[in-house]
Structure 1
Amino acid sequence: MTDPAFAPVLEAVRATGWTSSVLDLSGAADKAAFLERCAVSLELPDWFGHNWDALADCLRDLSWLPVSRGRLLLVSGWSDFARERPGDWATAREILTEAETEWAARGAQGFAVLLTTH
């Protein structure tokens, strides 16, 4: 369930023509749980292989999603995962950052990641 505190942000994003997804990592204990949360929250395609390379591929090629002006990925509940799995968190952050950078360079469609403190 999405934290109600995020509702104004998500509404503002949608008002601009962007779509949004919330990736709640609360209770995610390992890489497998992180990737499963991504698969569900982002509605990743059936070909998603539940590994880091497949996540990077999905985020670089969003053709499996309906057309949108841009996309916001709001990541919440990440601090415990980051503390307990620092190596996996570093990899996840690298993939998310690279996706943001690549989409910004293309200029055609936005892709942004917002890490919340909740």
Structure 2
Amino acid sequence: MSASGDWTVRVLDLEGAVDKAAFMDRCATALDLPAWFGRNWDALADALGDAGQLPPPAAGHRLLLVVTGWRGYARREPGQWEIAQEVFERAAAVRVALALGPL
């Protein structure tokens, strides 16, 4: 995690993620989600939609999730990637950005 301007930035690196389980594990790590996180799409949508389920960003900051290495996952799991994008688009507690190149 790093802070930049008014944003607390967390990176979700999907490089090498081969399936939904790996995707969810990486989300749990990147977002520092609790052990009871359900590792399914509904649980991720709930976490991204409710700031109370996420560790608080730095004081006065908003949370930005930068997704890197996502293209391989999108090719391997196109249906799951489509769901992920829908969840990201609906996120109310965090802004999600897809990185098109290395950070």
TM category, shorter: 0.7 to 0.9
What is the RMSD of the two structures over their aligned residues, measured on CA atoms?
1.9
Letter in 2 for 1:29: V
Q: Give the CA deviation at 1:47.
A: 2.3
**2:64 paired residue among 48, 51, 72:** 72
Q: TM-score, normalised by structure 1?
A: 0.75
Given residue 76 of structure 1, which amino acid in structure 2 is its aligned partner?
Answer: T
Which 10-residue stretch deviates more, 22-31 or 58-67? 58-67
| 4+ long deviations beyond 4 Å | none
Quote the offset at 1:111 in angstroms.
2.7
Distance 1:19 1:42 in 2: 11
> What is the TM-score of this pair, normalised by structure 2?
0.85
Whether 2:37 is the aligned partner of 1:45: answer no
What is the aligned-residue identity percentage? Answer: 48
Higher RCO, 1 or 2 (CA under 8 Å, sep at least 6)? 2
Which structure shows the bigger proportion of residues in strand conformation? Answer: 2
Task: Find the structure with the greater CA-based Rg.
Answer: 1
Segments of 5+ residues of structure 1 without an aligned counterpart are 3-9, 104-109
Structure 2, unaligned runs of 5 or more: none
Higher helix share: 1
What is the letter of the counterpart of residue 5 of structure 2? Answer: A
**Counterpart in 2 of 1:111?**
94
